[in-house]
Structure 1
Amino acid sequence: MKKRLEFLKFQNAQRALASGAVVIGGLVASASAHAAYTMPTVITTMFTDMGEAWTQVEDLVWPIVGAVLIGIFVIRKVKQGARQA
């Protein structure tokens, strides 16, 4: 009976080793496939255009955000001054 248990342990170890090898092999194959992939020029051009458009939007939005924050600060200070008077 003991030899049978040792044999079963050996099979489990082999199964674990084989499944680990399959997983590692899959990861290596997946990594090499991703590393070899290059995006088409249409997509890279689109991402470049989107980046430029986002920069233009940021240039338009930040002054407005700053003005709103300054306006909120001024309104609060005026309210505080009115309460104290």
Structure 2
Amino acid sequence: MTTADIQHEETGGKTVTVMVDGEPVEVPKHTTPDAVLGLAGIDVATHYLVRITGRQQHTFAGRGQEEITVHERETFVSVSTGPTPTA
């Protein structure tokens, strides 16, 4: 059982659909940034989550296990922690 499965059970199955990197992802309303990434199919070992609110960005770098509440249609992006390729 994954962290997301456990949290899904703890919240009584309440889920919302959020956007992660432009793709819809169904997640528990009460979750963690790492669980959101995992449900989006993104490797938490090499990425962290950023919440986009208007023009503001709220990073969860280094806080992947922090409990957060997500809302229907919220927007998130994943950010790679790996090296940035240069041309």
TM-score, with length taken from structure 1: 0.18
TM-score, with length taken from structure 2: 0.18
Greater RCO (CA < 8 Å, at least 6 residues apart): 2
